[in-house]
Structure 1
Amino acid sequence: MWTIIAGSGSCKEMGRMAVAAMVSSWVIPIIIMVNRFVPEPYMDEIFHIPQAQQYCKGNFKSWDPMITTPPGLYYLSLAHVASLFPGMWCVQAASSVSDMCSTAVLRSMNGILAVICSILVYDILTHLRPGLDKRKATLYTVVIALYPVHWFFTFLYYTDVASVAAVLAMYLACLKKHYLISSMLGALAVFIRQTNVIWMLFVACTGAINFLLAPNRKDIQLNDAGLSIRKSIQLTDNRSVPGYLNLRKRKSSGAMNVASHSMSVMNTSSLTHSSGLFDEFSTIFFRLWHLKWEILLQFGPFLLVLLAFVTFVLWNGSIVLGAKEAHSISPHFAQIMYFSLVTALAMAPLHFTLGRAKVLCRTLWRMRPMSFIKGLVVLLAGFLAVHFFSIAHPYLLADNRHYTFYVWRKVMRAHWSMKYILVPFYAYSWLSICSNLGKVQKNIWILVFFCASAAVLIPAPLIEFRYFTIPFFFLILHSQIKDDKSWFLMGILYIVVNTFTMLMFLFRPFHWDHEPGIQRFIW
């Protein structure tokens, strides 16, 4: 399966090996360090590790009612332990299989999955940007692997890294048009974390869009005689998605360029003249209508996974398995605003520079008055979201081990006006993100990505940086950042943040008066 998804090629293999070696160079020593200073399960590990150990004993009927996610992580752990058994037997005899499901061994699975994640990121990058230098692809991948929240939970037994790995593998398989394998990986992703059903739908939608807009696909044209089918003319475009819908006007320096451009415009369908979202929707709709059975055949397996998931939710009475009262669905619209700012800060060298602000302002000014209307709509939506749909979950207010506790108290609730003062920053972040994506992605892709992010984040009442990880990965992979300086600065930023958070976690423990045990700072 891995060969089918990843493809072949000696150059790519060298790139994957380099990525794996670089990521392993920090994963292995830090896992050893974490197990040395924090040998006992911590935070959510107190639920996950005993549950995995029950599975190691063959007790599959046991279930902790406080666990909210499906048991996919524990089955992966069984496979991980089974793969380690021969090597561990040579080093030290074990009295039973359950003895090998120790905290250290279970945590090590996430270290392996982190390396797999980095290889998947490398393959996705090189697939989306086939002309990218392999050395740059390796460095870009290493920077993404250092993303602080993903990096930190590599060393604990949480569902996050396994979830990211399954979603990335699903997406890579879909990009390579292995739709059946992609749907199977989607089922695995949902079995690890149920909200991944949204990312499965996102992957299926983007795959269907690429399928419909493939350069060799028959074009569906609306003319005076009705709908007719003709061979489409492949258009060149600087976007990663096939350039059917956008024939961008470019400045030319000579008469020959102008004439060539004019002839290409005259010879194409009227549906390809505009880059507007409406034109993209109409083109996709007409092609979908004529190719509906082919689309159903190719992407039907995704619908089967979705149907199975809906059946489970109806049977369970909730999307979460345990602790349903604390994880009830809530209209937390402010969450999508938090995501925009946190993600833009994670890509600060790209979004928060004076040059970037000037470019964005010039773009808005050039596209006036529509750009002003859009800006006002984003601002108004931000103010309404933080005023009416800003939720302070009891866990957020009570648990001072999480950084979100301090962000909420020291920043967002420092003054009653602070939540409104931050709205322009949320708006700027979204406008900058969409503007950057608009250079390389179709409008329909940006809309689908926003809807998927909103569907994952808005129902979640608790503010968790972990929820932002998967949309961040999709965002940075598709932004196609070409400025090496931005990548370098992001790498430095991530290293500084990672060093701080790990030092605080390992060497700044504290105690609660109302509860025994050592407490540690965590994302």
Structure 2
Amino acid sequence: MGKLAVAVITSLWVIPMSIIVNHIVPEPYMDEIFHVPQAQQYCNGNFKSWDPMITTPPGLYYLSLAHVATLFPGMLLMENTKSFAGACSTSVLRSTNCVFAVLCGVLVYEIIRFLGPNLSDRKATLMALVMSLYPLHWFFTFLYYTDVASLTAVLAMYLACLRKRFMLSALFGTLAVFVRQTNVVWMLFVACSGIIDFTLDSSRQKEKQEVNQDLHQPVDRKGETLRSNLRKRKSDSSSDSRYRLNLGKMISSTEDTSGLVYEIFAVISTSWTMKWEILVKFSPFIVVVVGFGIFILWNGGVVLGAKEAHVVSPHFAQIMYFSLVSVLFTAPLHLSVDQLRNQFQKLHRYWPLSFLPTLVALLAGLASVHFFSLAHPYLLADNRHYPFYLWRKIINAHWLMKYLSELDLVLSQSNSENSKEDLGLGLFLSYMRRSCSYAIDRVQILHHSVLPLHASLLCQKQRLRNLASHWNDIRLY
């Protein structure tokens, strides 16, 4: 099957649905009233024109120009249009996202294959197709919004980083930021993920080189052979490993997060010893982030237009909003009566150790909801959005309703054990589950939901499960 199958099958529903949407909604819809005219200005060659209500960079419009340029010869031959500007109709501009939707499916397939090399091709294909049907992603596929193009660039950036092509990854990151500036947060995540992989790979290579050098020294100063020393060190390491294993079991039975915290500490410590190599290797990411900082200083803010309605504000309640959405969407995968029962039994059995971190997390969540629950002006003014009714009919129905988002604190633990087996996926999930954005943003929810769901399906992959043990073994040499 493979990526060709993903592309073909995705096209089989994208094309007919696009035709149906354009038939029912031929005119620009909602925010398309800003994006479509702006793209058409670019089609006319008027690159100095800019709608002050548009908050995002013009990346999507330039991508649309390239898309229309590929279609224009055929449209001209079929006499569907007489000019390039005439080819930039609403339906043609919307088809830009249809192409990106197909690319998203292929990119997700490639990421799944990389993260889960033991998965069968058929299973990877089915998983990619399931992700392509994710509701938020599906909805914006057929409209001229920045969401799908933004997600495509982020996925391409992540895949390139997984393949150790950091320069290419940074270029895709630049494109992602040029489509939607908040993607700079995703660039930071991808860079951190790449640093972890680079650190581990370099440590393993260094260990192998030291072992090879020792093999060329048959006798040490004490007259002991290298092999005896290696056996001794291996024996000591094995004893230490058994001790760590028993300690790890005890820790995992009392507090799951301890092992993850230790692994993070191990990565940070190892990375610090390689800081200059890392700075050189990941300098393209640093250049982009520094450039983005300069842009903010020059622009006077993150957004381009409507700055008065998009002021940077601490919106920590967004973390709980997303976590609850994440738990609900992944409930069929991770939630069951047995898992909930086991979770409560664990909290009850080891309550002295679990009480304090749970209490701190609960109080922090309640404080975030109470003091940092912000309602965007557009959210309260525009009744064409579902969040308008969610906020009005549910969250504001009673003063206690907004605190229900704290339920995810307990419910989300049912799938935390899976991610703890793999530091890479664990960080991947926790970063996207807990990443804070400044407003209730469908793009953030789209990225946060599409990316971690396929990662959670791959939690059986344990390529970094023994990171802490491996780090200690390296120090022995």
TM-score, reference length from structure 1: 0.76
Give the Cα separation in 1 of the matches to 2:69 and 2:100: 16
Letter in 2 for 1:468: I
| Other-structure match for 1:79 | 66
Could you list the per-position Cα deviations for residues 322-349 of structure 1 after superposition, in whole angstroms to 9, with x for gaps in the alignment? 0001111111111110000111111120
Q: How far does residue 90 in structure 1 lie from its aligned partner after superposition?
A: 2.3
Letter in 2 for 1:265: S
Q: How far does residue 376 in structure 1 lie from its aligned partner after superposition?
A: 1.9
| Other-structure match for 1:20 | 7
Could you list the per-position Cα deviations for residues 146-178 of structure 1 after superposition, in whole angstroms to 9, with x for gaps in the alignment? 111111000000000000000000000000001
| Other-structure match for 1:202 | 189
**Conservation of the 8 A alpha-carbon contact between 2:160 and 2:166:** yes
- SS of structure 1 residue aligned to 2:181: coil
| Other-structure match for 1:507 | none
Paired residues for 1:339-378 under 5 Å: 339-365=322-348, 368-378=351-361
Q: How far does residue 439 in structure 1 lie from its aligned partner after superposition?
A: 3.3
| Other-structure match for 1:50 | 37
Verify: 1:182 aligned to 2:169, yes or no: yes
Q: How far does residue 84 in structure 1 lie from its aligned partner after superposition?
A: 1.0
* Distance 1:194-1:403 versus aligned 2 partners, 3 A rule: same
Letter in 1 for 2:11: S
**Conservation of the 8 A alpha-carbon contact between 1:440 and 1:479:** no
Verify: 1:139 aligned to 2:126, yes or no: yes
Q: How far does residue 298 in structure 1 lie from its aligned partner after superposition?
A: 1.2
| Other-structure match for 2:284 | 301
Paired residues for 1:64-463 under 5 Å: 64-214=51-201, 216-218=204-206, 265-266=238-239, 276-365=259-348, 368-420=351-403, 422-441=404-423, 446=426, 450=430, 454=434, 456-457=436-437, 459-460=438-439, 463=440
* Distance 1:139-1:448 versus aligned 2 partners, 3 A rule: closer
Q: Identity across aligned pairs (percent)?
A: 54
- Quick check: which has more Rg, 1 or 2? 2
Give the Cα separation in 1 of the matches to 2:76 and 2:236: 72
Instruction: Give the RMSD, CA atoms, in angstroms.
Output: 2.7
| Other-structure match for 2:457 | 480
Give the Cα separation in 1 of the matches to 2:411 and 2:458: 16
Give the Cα separation in 2 of the matches to 1:402 and 1:465: 11
**Bigger shift: residues 361-370 or 337-346:** 361-370
Could you list the per-position Cα deviations for residues 430-475 of structure 1 after superposition, in whole angstroms to 9, with x for gaps in the alignment? 4335334223335xx6457645665541x22xx2333211122231
Verify: 1:469 aligned to 2:446, yes or no: yes
Letter in 2 for 1:369: P
* Distance 1:361-1:120 versus aligned 2 partners, 3 A rule: same
**Conservation of the 8 A alpha-carbon contact between 1:179 and 1:298:** yes
- SS of structure 2 residue aligned to 1:325: helix
Q: How far does residue 306 in structure 1 lie from its aligned partner after superposition?
A: 0.6
Give the Cα separation in 2 of the matches to 1:291 and 1:480: 32
Give the Cα separation in 2 of the matches to 1:56 and 1:270: 67
**Bigger shift: residues 273-282 or 27-36:** 273-282
* Distance 1:83-1:231 versus aligned 2 partners, 3 A rule: farther
- SS of structure 2 residue aligned to 1:332: coil
Q: How many residues align?
A: 428
Give the Cα separation in 2 of the matches to 1:74 and 1:68: 13
| Other-structure match for 2:27 | 40
**Conservation of the 8 A alpha-carbon contact between 2:422 and 2:459:** no
Q: Identify unmatched segments of 5+ residues in structure 2.
A: 213-233, 249-257, 461-477
* Distance 1:165-1:176 versus aligned 2 partners, 3 A rule: same
Give the Cα separation in 2 of the matches to 1:467 and 1:311: 23
* Distance 1:70-1:264 versus aligned 2 partners, 3 A rule: same
Letter in 1 for 2:374: I
Letter in 1 for 2:196: I
Letter in 2 for 1:300: S
* Distance 1:358-1:278 versus aligned 2 partners, 3 A rule: closer
Letter in 1 for 2:324: L
**Conservation of the 8 A alpha-carbon contact between 1:49 and 1:157:** yes
TM-score, reference length from structure 2: 0.83
**Conservation of the 8 A alpha-carbon contact between 1:198 and 1:452:** no
* Distance 1:183-1:283 versus aligned 2 partners, 3 A rule: same
Could you list the per-position Cα deviations for residues 408-446 of structure 1 after superposition, in whole angstroms to 9, with x for gaps in the alignment? 1222122122223x144231244335334223335xx64
- SS of structure 1 residue aligned to 2:304: coil
Give the Cα separation in 1 of the matches to 2:385 and 2:41: 28
Give the Cα separation in 2 of the matches to 1:418 and 1:139: 38
| Other-structure match for 1:62 | 49
